[in-house]
Amino acid sequence: MTSINSGIGSDVDPGKRTGGQERSDLGKRAGGQERSDSGNSTVLRISDADRNGTLRRLHNAVALGLIDIGEFEERSAAVSQARLHSELGALVEDLPGPGAIVTTATDRVELRGVLGSLKRQGEWIVPTRLSLVRRMGSIDLDLTKARFAGPIVVIELDVKFGSVDIRLPEGASASIDDVEVLVGSARDHRKDAPAEGSPHVILTGRSVCGSIDIRGPRKSLFGRG
């Protein structure tokens, strides 16, 4: 009788576990673990806005001298290949967050305009960050005789229906890989331009229905700049 009573108890316990405990376990897994996975941002896919935010942090880092040009180019290329938040996070985990980098008014200059042309030439001071916002007009920047606030210049473009022409001094390098061009072109016309020169100019942002041209110093009739 004792063994029968034990068997009956044993028969009941699995049923309880099956009907109650397993449902409870499933509920915990469904309500707990699955919710935890869905709330884990590291496994979520990233958007273009996420990539742009990471690129801005890299631009700040290179402008502040936290990473060199070669490392910036390497990390920027990895940003375009990233698919998950965890991959983006690994590229900037050793850098200050966006709120930790303070840019003063003298470090960043914004130039806006509609129609007409914007020109800068001669001995003018180029800030470490230059924002150019233009609608239906041209931008002509001659940096050959300019004085630079730092060894690296980040030029942020927001240009629609206009052209951008930038002349760099001898020995300067430029990166145009981070510029988004919609119906138009972006070219560095210089031959044998250095990959990591000084100063180094980084172009970013967007150009819609326009052209971006990087050139060297103007040449005289005798071939000397």
Report d(CA 156, CA 165) in Å as an integer: 14
Last residue of a domain, one of 68, 102, 136: 102
- What pLDDT does 187 receive? 93
Residues 130 and 196 in one domain: yes
Q: Which domain holds residue 59?
A: 18-102
Question: Is residue 225 in some structural domain?
Answer: no
Question: Is residue 5 in some structural domain?
Answer: no
Residues 195 and 95 in one domain: no
Residues 123 and 214 in one domain: yes
Cut 0.75: pTM above it: no
Rounded mean pLDDT, 132-144: 93
Q: State the total domains in the chain.
A: 2
Question: Is residue 10 in some structural domain?
Answer: no
Residue bearing the bigger pLDDT, 179 or 99: 179
Beta strand pairing call for 163-167 and 200-215:
parallel
Looking up tokens 């050139």 gives 215
Residues 125 and 186 in one domain: yes
Helix (H) or strand (E) holding 162: none
Question: Is residue 41 in some structural domain?
Answer: yes
Residues 186 and 136 in one domain: yes
Residues 123 and 189 in one domain: yes
pLDDT classification of 102: cutoffs 50, 70, 90: very low
Last residue of a domain, one of 102, 128, 151: 102
Question: Is residue 183 in some structural domain?
Answer: yes
Is a pLDDT exceeding 70 seen at residue 2? no
Write out pLDDT tens, residues 173-217: 998 888 899 999 999 999 888 877 888 999 989 999 999 999 999
Last residue of a domain, one of 102, 133, 163: 102
Is a pLDDT exceeding 90 seen at residue 169? yes
Rounded mean pLDDT, 62-70: 76
Using CA atoms, how far residue 72 sits from 60, 78, 119, 185, in Å, is 10, 10, 29, 23
Looking up tokens 């914007």 gives 118
Write out pLDDT tens, residues 79-95: 888 888 888 889 988 88
Residues in Cβ contact with 205 at an 8 Å cutoff, skipping those fewer than 6 apart: 132, 155, 156, 157, 158, 159, 179, 180
Residue bearing the bigger pLDDT, 36 or 147: 147
- What pLDDT does 28 receive? 45
Report d(CA 89, CA 16) in Å as an integer: 46
Residues 172 and 89 in one domain: no
Residues 92 and 140 in one domain: no
| Assigned token pair, 199 | 């100063």
Residues 77 and 164 in one domain: no
Residues in Cβ contact with 74 at an 8 Å cutoff, skipping those fewer than 6 apart: none
